[in-house]
Structure 1
Amino acid sequence: MFRNSFLMKVKLLVVAFSLFGMNGKAQEHQVVKVTNETFKVLKDVSNSALADGEVLLSLTTHQDLGWIDEIEKCVVMRDTQWITPFLQRLSDEAAFEMDVEQASIMREYITRHPDKKEEIVQRLKEGRMLVGATHNQPYEEMYFSESLARQFYLGKLWLKNEFEGYNATSYYNSDVPGRSLQMPQLLAKAGVENMFISRHGRGVFDWKSPDGSSVTSYSPGHYIDFYNVLGKEDDEAIKELGKQALYWTTEYDYIPGEKAVMPAVLNFEFIWDPKPVHNLDPFMKLWNNLATVENEDGERLEVSIPKIKFSTLDKFFDQMRQGTKELPSIMGERPNVWVYIHGPSHHWALDHSRKADVLLPAAEKFAMADVLVSKSYANYPVDLFAQAWESKIYPDHGWGGKGGQSTDDIFLARFADAHAKAQYLLDNSLNSLASKVATDQGKGVPVVVFNSLSWERTSPVQISMQFDAETARSVRLFSKSGAEIPVQLSQVVQRKDGYLKSAELCFVASNVPSIGYETYYAQFSDEPLNQPALTFNPAFENDFFEAQLADGGLSSLLDKQLNKELVDDQFFKAGEIFTTKSEGNGAGEFFEVQQVSMDGFDKTGNYPTAWELVADGPVYTSFRYRQPIRNAVAELQITFYNNVKKVDFDVELKNWDGTMFREYRMALPLKMDDGKVAYEVPFGVVEVGKDEMTGIAGNGYETPCKELHPRGIENWINASGTGFGVTLSSSVVGMDYVDPTGKNLPGTILQPILLASRRSCHGEGNDYHQTGDHRYSFSITSHQPGWENGFRFGKESNEALFAVVAPEKYRHAPLPERGSFLSIDQDNIVVTAMKKAENEDGMVVRCYNLDGQQTTAKLKLWEAFDTVYETNLIEENKAKLKGNRSGTVKLDLGKYEIKTIKLK
């Protein structure tokens, strides 16, 4: 996805065998004349540890799924201009080797050429062909925990199953200038030892996760590096490669007696000028045959330099680990500089993605629970889950580009497909389980509420009900023991006689078990529906908060329990929608996130706000306004819950006209000096200023990583300080916390990024207008300082309780009215997966430790299993664990550890 305009050639690069057969410019034993500077470089190399070493050249092409053109055109190019001719060269030349960055390319290729599968297996077994261990090259922060883990299921595990046990040990993510905190641990747990990255300072180093696991990583600076060497005139190319050899001997301590190696990766794109690629074989011949050089003064030198040989990337890593005394290390998150490319620039697509991130693991949990109850795997929808997960992680880092609207539409369609399949799978499992609950029709219409999270929780539930004629004027709700539960009706449709036709019911379900369910009963009543007159008052109070509504949002929100004012209203109100100029690209050749400016600034608080009281009842109270704002109409609905400490901010941007280079955000200005900010990432939490990699990334990226913003978050962001903390759950991935106004405003301002109308950096790329209506949801709570006090709320608000109304009960329903299919006894352990094992009958559970301390936890299961194994990330057995007949498994988790177990 290299962006410099001088490379944007119309001419396509045809990488065929014939292009590598050109005659070299130097013959054996020829004296080569070089400049004095090149002479000195070669002299130094000849006296270095690499004099008798090797340059291990990995040859591949960098692939976005699209970007250089529409996806299907790129599929054809990958076939005809790369894989097929390279396979031919592997057949013709025993010394030739090649890398393929990702597994999805092989999936494409064998779909087009099933007859080539046996040949590919042979080359993989020979070790002359390498395929990367992930399905594609993702934005790691774009996905929730399980979606990122499934990159290795559809990558490494698929490759192993498809190509006779091929073990992929290297991860290519050539383009993206960002690294998620726990990615090294995911790689290590999947048995992936090596990582190729770029847009990062040159070098080989161990990139560590907080648990201490690591992956050996190599960055050439930019993946164009060796291509640029080949693009130089002979003397300049020799000098540059010689300088790189000196870098390796200076920076790394080679072990005497071990073969010294240095890397070179020719990782090119089809649209680049083909001349440097054509020069590969001639330059290799020139370099490898250098024996005597003569400088400008007539001085001659017999040189001894490392020979270039074709290799696969894993061979370089193996020898580098073996042949050097110690590798430097990096630990921490590298915030993605291209964070604008996905969520802000493609809101509709990422909205589907994030919903599927929640629903697919939930669907797996309850499909597995149904297996446990029915004692049969026969109805577990293996194929449909596989299709859903493939759609879920199909989009890669190549949004936009040439033909970018087509690519973006395909990415949107795949995320929407994953979302729809996840909802379908979840509904089927919930309905099946609810039908197995021994409900009591004498208590009323059963409402079975399900909790997909791994702790007992109390949260609002929203259900829809349809009513037969003359059955109910109002509805009451009761627990299974007969205690009445406050319920509130909305969107009520009544018949002329006053009887209900349909309504939405909201109530708070209390203490719903971990990955389990609780049963309630709705009773129909002939009592008239209580619909009090709604009178707006800008002051609101319940047991948790006192609030003041003002122009644009809340000017005050007092936590009554903590006696703390949460809102600093000097410039923004809480929930206020504002717009700024947002000129830039989502991704491109820039070295820090392109920031917004105040040009054309507007906010809803610039106008008198016509608030309405739209709901007021025993469960919640809601206020709403609609306000034209620059280029759009903003709608905000704020909902206060009376029985849980929760405030919802539901935002709609309507009539958005798609004007380019505008951005919309919601403001949450906190009365908090020096607030400490933390946010959820896959399998962990990043504390800003603490958990980023130290210093700068290098290779032009000179902003300290801890200063990069906005960030990409999973479910929530937290700010803590001045005696309180606030946790904000978010439907969007892009989140900022730095004052955008340049006014040096006090406090901490959390800002979900609603959308940004930026454009593709490709010269023929598309604009990201996103014209139309957009909907968002956010929730907040306040608590004692520390993200630990709010993380459960942050996940709960994005992962709602599910409910089944009036299930068709089995005649011999085996389940009690309340139950848990899986629970864990430690608050710092989060379960992300409970699913059928891959390729066999059995249950897999994955969890992680949020804490920096080792934890022993007890996993309580629905039933006992005969055998329990600890596995790697892709479910391959590592060690047998002890279980017991009561269905309890003891788990020892190290600090910040991700652990996967299999039960049979």
Structure 2
Amino acid sequence: MLKKTLVSIVLLIITLSIYSQSNGLVFKCNNDTYKLLKEISASVASKGEILLSITTHQDLGWVDEVEKCVILRDTLWMTPYLKRLKEDPSFKMDIEQTSIIVEYLNRHPDKKAEIQKGLDEGRILIGATYTQPYEEMFSGESLIRQLYLGKKWLTSNFNGYKSDTYYNSDVPGRTLQMSQILAKSGVKNMFVSRHEKGVFDWYSPDNSKVTMFSSGHYIDFYNILGKESEAGIRQMAEEVLFWGNYYDSKSKKVIIPALLNYEFIWDQKPVKNCDPFMALWNSIKVIENEKGEKIKVTLPPLRYGNLNTCLNAIRENSTKIKPISGERPAVWLYIHGPSHHYAITASREADILLPDAEKFAAINSLLEGTFRNYDVAAFDEAWEAKIYPDHGWGGKGGEITDRLFLSKFVKAEQDATNLLNGALNRIASKINFIQSGIPLVVFNGLNWRRDDPVTFECRFNKGEAFGVKIIDSDKKVINSQLQSQKYYDDGSLRSATVSFIASGVPSVGYSTFYAEPLKQVEKSVATVFNPVFGNQFFSVRFGKGGIERLYDKTLGKEIIDASKFALGEVFTMQSVGNGAGEFADIQQPSMEGFDKIGFYNTKWEKVSEGPVFTSFKYRQPVKHAVVEETIIIYNQIKRIDFEIDIKNWEGILYREFRAAFPLNMRSSKVTYEVPMGVVEVGKDELKGAAGHMYTTECKLIHPRTLIDWVNASDDSFGATISSSVIAFDYLDPTPDPAQSTFIQPILFASRKSCHWEGNDYIQLGDHHFSFSLYIHEPGWKNGFRSGKQGQNKLYSTMDPISGSSRPLPEEQSFFSVSGELMMFTALKKSEDDNSITLRMTDMSGAEQNIELEMFMPLTKIYKTNLIEEEEKVSNLSGKSFNLKVGKNSIETFKLKLE
């Protein structure tokens, strides 16, 4: 009885409020509002309706610690909204992401039937991704797994529900291929903010698209509800006219979108004003201006709805949707890589290790004829950890949130390592080792034959070895080099680190080498430092801060311009900023407290010299830290590695460290890898500015983010830098900027959270970074494979336990594909059966006819969408067959193998 009385009182208050505002049946307003409402009544918008989508914008944390936010989402949103959904047939709700459903059902498993009912009735929309990520922060495969753990999980757990909408409400950045990833997962719609207001068809380079809706800023409708009644009605009228312009007299259906997307920490008065405002708008039938003029008006009714209903209607009934395409460089990139170096390093490692673990676990299952040893649950758990951290770093309780995100990435990395090692050991146990010596199996996870360094540790019994020899499966001696030797008292080796170049390791396969103990003592090589060094590829001169001359003997070119910085030189600047926040441009570093290694007399030493490589090292204190750098110049492959350690870091707020790669180019093209794509600076970005408060042209935004490599090329040579860090700049931040090309990986930055109670991103501790430099003919395509190899290391398994059956040869390629710029991104057990799912992407930008080769014959192949929903079956069979892959296309196939 009390409940009914309270409801009656609320309705009476609403009715009296409407009556007072509209003076009975007449809404009195100023001349501007009168004109707007009159214009709506005469427009096509009057024939439609306004659908208000209501949701709350959710970082996993930021508002508070993640677990506290879980409680807030339950008590302030999900539970009361589901209650209203049950009691009010007109109410509908949107939920931005799938993880919210997962966490809610963990707390309330009994609520699943209510959610299912809301989905079946079309009154609940759940976003298609697991979380709302920084798209540029993840590999393309990790972005696709957002749809596996989002849309595909929803389909499996909610009676076939097909989510068709992606929410990424907050982040001002869009990666080049995200629309293709969405479209090829069955997602048609996308909500963003911090972008030009409007509806757009956002295209990927392969010509796939999604319909993207931007309200300008997700706070905008909340602000309408926060205004006095007439001011709110006036602004609502402006909204109706704006969105009504997408329709014309030929439109069969007119739906005006409105989106209330609020946060718990905002003043809730505007949210509570939603129903009264809706009632007020719907009551307006006659309007009167300041002159006393009255007219009848027909306004589109305002009702609750779901965002996908609005976007589907606009797409089907409008001819005015603007096409857009290109990378929108991330404005908030400092929040992840530079400000959370440990976490993003683990994330980037897991981006490589998890797909490789799946590849070799799937191959092992094919060899064994069963998936018994393919741990689906462990892979699922690792992928959930891998993609869990969203865009809500820092914030209130940010130390706890950041630690949770770090632990997720570390778990993903460690689980991937364990799964990978298990699969490699099982495969290695099936190899028939013919030669004498200790077998060493070198595995290649990339889909091309490659030459790269391998380093492993050998241990021996006393008197067993005084040196080590490496031979291949053809008994050919391979140049090798020992480091970190430890000896017994008789002079024999206790242990040593052995390095060699593994040549021709097959695509997604392995080669076998053997380590043989030597009875004679190996001759030591003098390690006296000389600033001038040369090998068959380069002439090098070391100086203050780094390499001051690098001459390429093959190309006959001076590679660097060391007039301001040496190659590999570390420098530090002031770096005031938040990483994320309400700013229109990336907050750039300044010269206060500038310091660099070249200000000091660099004390170089030669660390190691041999047939494989020669390495050089220095240790130099700078402001607030000590820098140690080792430069490794390989003698058999054209590659230089830079291993940088920032030690004794004092944790000073607002500092930034970068590494210098000054190239002798005046008019170069800078190109870098993004998730499943490539961006050339100044060419492949979104045209113009993104809009709203973001007025800088997208092509001018810097720094940028990369996956594995960045390339600079002019007409004379190309330089590809394979990078362990995600952020880099290509413009000189110092006074009197260099006219030559200057690539600078950003090592880390100590900024702070934009939350007023947020944490500082001090990142105390020692930090390690690695880079590989490759010099080649002009063009990024000539450095693409090397750039990938620098971060995607070869794996080695030493002295594996041999199984009872050893059918494998000493060298084997399991899967390969023609095409220099085709890349496998996944090879795994299929989700719904014991087939193999193979995903690949074209990086060339041209349609390709490729040949796919496998070590086992297949009986059938299905072309599927990205989340393995079958689309087209082919009767191709055998071990080799031809496929057509479109330009920049991401393609997924399900293989039925014998």
TM range (shorter): over 0.9
Secondary structure at the counterpart of residue 695 of structure 2 = coil
In the alignment, is the contact (CA less than 8 A) between 1:43 and 1:303 conserved in 2?
Answer: yes
Aligned counterparts of 2:395 and 2:9: Cα–Cα separation in 1: 27
| Counterpart residue number, 1:770 | 763
1:892 pairs, out of 861, 884, 887, with 884
Aligned counterparts of 1:724 and 1:785: Cα–Cα separation in 2: 4
| Pair 1:690 & 2:657 matched | no
Alpha-carbon displacement from aligned partner over 1:437-489 (angstroms, at most 9, x marks no partner): 1012x421111110000001111111111112211010001110111100101
Shift of 1:20: 8.8
In the alignment, is the contact (CA less than 8 A) between 1:633 and 1:656 conserved in 2?
Answer: yes
Amino acid at match of 2:431: V
Alpha-carbon displacement from aligned partner over 1:790-846 (angstroms, at most 9, x marks no partner): 010011010111111111112320100010110001112111110000031110000
In the alignment, is the contact (CA less than 8 A) between 2:251 and 2:318 conserved in 1?
Answer: no
1:873 pairs, out of 866, 872, 884, with 866
Aligned counterparts of 1:163 and 1:249: Cα–Cα separation in 2: 35
Aligned counterparts of 2:632 and 2:307: Cα–Cα separation in 1: 55
Amino acid at match of 1:152: L
Shift of 1:17: 10
| Pair 1:101 & 2:79 matched | no
In the alignment, is the contact (CA less than 8 A) between 1:673 and 1:722 conserved in 2?
Answer: no
| Pair 1:115 & 2:115 matched | no
TM-score, normalising length from structure 1?
0.97
Distance 1:656 1:575, change over 3 A: same
Distance 1:625 1:257, change over 3 A: closer
Alpha-carbon displacement from aligned partner over 1:277-301 (angstroms, at most 9, x marks no partner): 0100000000011011111111112
| Counterpart residue number, 2:348 | 354
Segment drifting more, 26-35 vs 63-72: 26-35
| Counterpart residue number, 1:6 | none
Aligned counterparts of 2:249 and 2:495: Cα–Cα separation in 1: 77
| Pair 1:496 & 2:479 matched | no
Aligned counterparts of 2:696 and 2:43: Cα–Cα separation in 1: 34
Gaps of 5+ in 1: 1-15
In the alignment, is the contact (CA less than 8 A) between 1:65 and 1:398 conserved in 2?
Answer: yes
In the alignment, is the contact (CA less than 8 A) between 1:20 and 1:280 conserved in 2?
Answer: no
Shift of 1:209: 0.2
Shift of 1:146: 1.0
| Counterpart residue number, 1:630 | 623
In the alignment, is the contact (CA less than 8 A) between 1:17 and 1:89 conserved in 2?
Answer: no
Segment drifting more, 233-242 vs 23-32: 23-32
Alpha-carbon displacement from aligned partner over 1:619-665 (angstroms, at most 9, x marks no partner): 00000000011111011110000011100000000011110000000
Aligned counterparts of 2:580 and 2:8: Cα–Cα separation in 1: 35
In percent, how many aligned pairs have the same letter? 50
Shift of 1:508: 0.4
| Counterpart residue number, 2:14 | 23
Secondary structure at the counterpart of residue 355 of structure 2 = helix
Aligned-residue RMSD, C-alpha: 1.3
Aligned counterparts of 2:770 and 2:675: Cα–Cα separation in 1: 21
Shift of 1:852: 2.2
| Pair 1:800 & 2:793 matched | yes
| Counterpart residue number, 2:707 | 714
| Counterpart residue number, 2:3 | none
| Counterpart residue number, 1:13 | none
Secondary structure at the counterpart of residue 714 of structure 1 = coil
Distance 1:427 1:257, change over 3 A: closer
Aligned counterparts of 2:465 and 2:141: Cα–Cα separation in 1: 43
Count of aligned pairs? 886
| Counterpart residue number, 1:816 | 809
In the alignment, is the contact (CA less than 8 A) between 1:128 and 1:312 conserved in 2?
Answer: yes
2:147 pairs, out of 145, 152, 156, with 152
In the alignment, is the contact (CA less than 8 A) between 2:467 and 2:520 conserved in 1?
Answer: yes
In the alignment, is the contact (CA less than 8 A) between 2:243 and 2:257 conserved in 1?
Answer: no
Secondary structure at the counterpart of residue 674 of structure 1 = coil
| Pair 1:452 & 2:429 matched | no
1:643-658 alignment to 2 at 5 Å? 643-658=636-651
Amino acid at match of 1:513: P
In the alignment, is the contact (CA less than 8 A) between 2:468 and 2:515 conserved in 1?
Answer: yes
Aligned counterparts of 2:8 and 2:495: Cα–Cα separation in 1: 72
Alpha-carbon displacement from aligned partner over 1:136-161 (angstroms, at most 9, x marks no partner): 00000101121111100111111111
Aligned counterparts of 2:106 and 2:445: Cα–Cα separation in 1: 37
In the alignment, is the contact (CA less than 8 A) between 1:579 and 1:663 conserved in 2?
Answer: yes
Distance 1:290 1:424, change over 3 A: same
In the alignment, is the contact (CA less than 8 A) between 2:91 and 2:123 conserved in 1?
Answer: yes
Amino acid at match of 1:293: I
Amino acid at match of 2:722: S
1:391 pairs, out of 364, 385, 388, with 385
Alpha-carbon displacement from aligned partner over 1:68-89 (angstroms, at most 9, x marks no partner): 0000000001011100111111
Shift of 1:45: 1.1
1:30-45 alignment to 2 at 5 Å? 30-45=25-40
Distance 1:693 1:339, change over 3 A: same
In the alignment, is the contact (CA less than 8 A) between 2:18 and 2:279 conserved in 1?
Answer: yes
Distance 1:875 1:507, change over 3 A: same
Amino acid at match of 2:451: T
Amino acid at match of 1:294: E
Alpha-carbon displacement from aligned partner over 1:572-597 (angstroms, at most 9, x marks no partner): 00000000110000100001111111
Q: Which aligned segments of 4 or more residues in structure 1 are displaced greater than 4 angstroms?
A: 16-22
| Counterpart residue number, 2:314 | 320
Alpha-carbon displacement from aligned partner over 1:235-292 (angstroms, at most 9, x marks no partner): 1111101111222234x24352512121110000000001100100000000011011
Gaps of 5+ in 2: 1-5
Aligned counterparts of 1:116 and 1:810: Cα–Cα separation in 2: 50
1:514 pairs, out of 507, 519, 538, with 507
| Counterpart residue number, 1:783 | 776
Aligned counterparts of 1:882 and 1:606: Cα–Cα separation in 2: 67
Secondary structure at the counterpart of residue 185 of structure 1 = helix
| Pair 1:226 & 2:226 matched | no
2:191 pairs, out of 192, 196, 201, with 196
| Counterpart residue number, 1:214 | 209
Aligned counterparts of 1:550 and 1:472: Cα–Cα separation in 2: 39
Aligned counterparts of 1:226 and 1:882: Cα–Cα separation in 2: 53
Shift of 1:882: 3.7
Aligned counterparts of 2:464 and 2:596: Cα–Cα separation in 1: 48
Aligned counterparts of 1:544 and 1:255: Cα–Cα separation in 2: 70
Distance 1:571 1:103, change over 3 A: same
1:369 pairs, out of 357, 363, 367, with 363
In the alignment, is the contact (CA less than 8 A) between 1:255 and 1:323 conserved in 2?
Answer: no
Shift of 1:48: 1.1
Amino acid at match of 2:50: V
| Pair 1:400 & 2:391 matched | no
| Pair 1:617 & 2:610 matched | yes
Aligned counterparts of 2:38 and 2:760: Cα–Cα separation in 1: 52
Aligned counterparts of 2:471 and 2:214: Cα–Cα separation in 1: 61
